[in-house]
Amino acid sequence: MQDLKVGVHILAGQAKGLVEGIVAAEAAGIEVAWMTSGGVAADPLAVFSAAALKTERILFGTCILPTFPRHPLAMVQGAMTVDSLAPGRLRLGIGPSHKPSIEGMYGIPFERPLEHLREYLTILRAILGEGSVQFTGKRLTANARIAGPTGVTLMASALRPNGFRVCGELADGAISWVCPLPYLKEVAVPAIAEGAAKAEREAPPLIAHVPVVVSQDREAVYDAARKQIGLYPRVPFYSQMFQDAGFPEAKNGELSDRMIDALVVWGSESDVLGRLRDVPSFGVRELLAMPILTSGDREALPRTLAALGKLAAE
């Protein structure tokens, strides 16, 4: 599909399964394999290094690697490794994450996250794009040189207008997560454009995270959606985003039926493809599809991957 780059969120419990999922995604014709890094799970950069040896074309995206637990230069080490094994195929998506996980899991103070992200992006842009960095900021310091510029594409996550503005100013792309498409059109796209205008550069692409499943079992889809994305309205930043998007029930931590209807693309293959073909009309240039894993239907994931492969081939 010329107007929409198609990627998929790879889901598996162990590193071996993640590599197998990436290989399967490439075989299905999908353009980008995305991995999250929540909790103490397999490191996406390590998994992508392994997958680089078993794939040829598929791009690798992190969505996202939290910035507070890892110094920018430590992040560069992993990114350089992937880039050396799969030149130009890594899309390094970073972000500050959220106060409950950063403070609760790591014990690191979650202070001035946008200021922290801005300095982090500044450091990464310099060393990944130019081969060296000399930076001393309020939050971070980095002085280093590498062999030369890399082919890494630098992206960042965002939920609210200020975050999208930072992406527009400093990143090569802005990654959303469980944001309704109308919210992206009305809030994210203008904010990215504002940030880009400030930096006198072209607006980078918006990557929309969209839960997807080819299934016509409404109850199974709703049950699986609540298991996979039901926690987000209980996280403060996400809850406020949902409220801003017109879902006041998120204030109580609820993922309502109408929120699922706004977020999840499901139905027959033709229904799913029809809705996904409309994604570019919301100002989105890339799709980050997250398969919804319905219980009792082992064929739902292969059906979904096949549909996404068809979309990518259009």
Please indicate, yes or no, if residue 76 is contained in any of the structural domains.
yes
Residue 202: CATH number of its domain: 3.20.20.30
Chain-centre distance for alpha carbon 37: 10
Q: How many domains does the chain have?
A: 1
The pLDDT of residue 2: 53
Chain-centre distance for alpha carbon 44: 12
Please indicate, yes or no, if residue 86 is contained in any of the structural domains.
yes
Please indicate, yes or no, if residue 255 is contained in any of the structural domains.
no
Please indicate, yes or no, if residue 237 is contained in any of the structural domains.
no
Chain-centre distance for alpha carbon 72: 19
pLDDT under 70: residue ranges of the chain: 1-2
Parent domain of 72: 5-215+263-313
The pLDDT of residue 1: 47
Burial track 100-114 (b if 16+ CB lie within 10 A, e otherwise)? ebbeeeeeeebeebe
Please indicate, yes or no, if residue 13 is contained in any of the structural domains.
yes
Please name the helix (run of DSSP H) or strand (run of DSSP E) that holds residue 241, with its range, or none. Answer: helix 236-244
Closest CA to 44 of 4, 11, 2: 11
Burial track 52-81 (b if 16+ CB lie within 10 A, e otherwise)? beebeebbbbbbbbbbbebebbebbebbbb
At a CB cut-off of 8 Å and minimum separation 6, what does 201 contact?
A: 169
Please indicate, yes or no, if residue 190 is contained in any of the structural domains.
yes
Please indicate, yes or no, if residue 78 is contained in any of the structural domains.
yes
Please indicate, yes or no, if residue 241 is contained in any of the structural domains.
no
Please name the helix (run of DSSP H) or strand (run of DSSP E) that holds residue 302, with its range, or none. Answer: helix 300-313
